[in-house]
Chain A
Amino acid sequence: MIPLLAKQATRKSNSNKAIVLATQQEFSNFLAQIERRAYKQALFAVRDEHLALDIVQESMMKLVEKYAAKPSEELPLLFQRILQNTIRDFYRRQKTRSLWTTLFSSFTSGKENENEDYDFLETLRVESASNPGNPQEKLEQSESIRVIERALSDLPARQREAFLLRYWEDMDVSETAKIMGCSEGSVKTHCSRATHALAIVLSKKGITL
């Protein structure tokens, strides 16, 4: 019933061209399509699986709650904007939290080390090991993935954001600038620096593209 309502509820633009709103099924398909990349993006940024999952869930919730009345073509841009803002919110919260933990470090010193046990590469090693068979090609591929993911995590946040939006999410420069809230020139600079840094890391590790 709800998808039918959504189809019926159309907006008319100035040129009287009807825009069909995204149905629940379209939302579902869209989220299924982007959820893995969104999770990885969040993981590169926060380096914690649970936090990354929370960020993706929060972003999905916001998209569906606030933008149910948008056509499906606008969903990728909206979702990316929400995702990047949610990641930034995480950084802000982390900054505030670290300020308090610094102030009360004597009381919380024992608990602080809990998250430090997490090794970003550990999960990848387990994942690679769980795959049956281990041919040379597959090993090289997983090594390339590991190196690139590690290098991406080590990039400055803005460079990583620009690179992933431009080349992984396939956004153009102006869309990326809108999502990041900066000029197109800044996007180009961030992308260029990120690609250069990644290329250096890959060549140092002897990985050819």
Chain B
Amino acid sequence: MNEPQTGKKIAQILDQGLDNIRQGTLDRLQSARSASLENYHPAETIVNVGGASVRSGHEWHLKRGRFVSLVSLLLALMGIVYWQSLQGDENEDIDIMLLVDDLPVNAYLDNEFETWLEGS
């Protein structure tokens, strides 16, 4: 017996096994079917204009919702980056003051010790 024949034979036996499914399970399958059919709304999914189909309703709203969420997320990230850049480094102002000042940097380092040396 070749492969397709064996496959078909096994499939036939599997078909016989379908009759052994418990009634409780069959009831649940039936209720699942009924529940899913309640969501049947064909008119909302496609609107046809000539040869081209234009999607509308549910799906379009979903796509727009995703786009708005993405843009909001990007704006929030940009805001965080901008706010962090405004905070800057605490020592940045001191560094600028030291560099711009006329006094050399060394003057700030150990002034009192040099004064003491000169006085002694």
Q: Which A residues are closer than 8 A to B by beta carbons?
A: 2, 5-6, 9-12, 14, 16, 21, 24, 27-28, 31-32, 35-37, 39-40, 49, 53, 56-57, 60-61, 63-65, 68-69, 123-124, 126-128, 141-142, 144-145, 148-149, 152, 163, 166-168, 191-192, 195-196, 198-199, 202, 209
Contact = CB atoms under 8 A, between A and B. Distances in A.
Interface stretch (B31-39, B81-89, B92-100, B108-116): B31-39
Interface string B1-26: 10110111111011111101110011
Contacts of A63: 36
B22 A2 contact: no
19 contacts: A2-B41, A5-B42, A6-B42, A14-B51, A16-B51, A27-B37, A28-B37, A35-B29, A36-B21, A36-B26, A39-B29, A60-B36, A61-B39, A126-B22, A168-B15, A191-B7, A192-B3, A202-B10, A209-B6
Contacts of A195: 3, 6-7, 10
A64 B37 CA distance: 6
B74 interface: no
A17 to B, nearest CB: 11
Given A36-B21, A53-B29, A63-B36, A145 B14 contact: yes
A92 to B, nearest CB: 22
Contact of B48 (A12, A14, A32, A191): A12
Contact of A21 (B18, B21, B35, B42): B42
Chain A at the B interface: SS class: helix
A9 B36 contact: no
B45 interface: yes
Contacts of A152: 14
Given A10-B48, A60-B32, A145-B13, A40 B18 contact: yes
B11 A145 contact: no
Contacts of B13: 141, 144-145, 148, 209
Contacts of B20: 124, 127-128, 142, 145
Given A2-B43, A24-B40, A35-B29, 10 more contacts: A9-B43, A56-B32, A64-B37, A68-B42, A142-B20, A148-B14, A167-B4, A167-B11, A209-B1, A209-B9
Contacts of A145: 13-14, 16-17, 20
A166 B14 CA distance: 13
Nearest to A60: B36
B1 A40 contact: no
B106 interface: no
A123 B23 CA distance: 12
Nearest to A144: B13
Interface string B33-76: 10111011111011010110100000000000000000000000
Given A11-B46, A60-B33, A195-B3, A148 B10 contact: yes
Contact of A57 (B8, B35, B50): B35
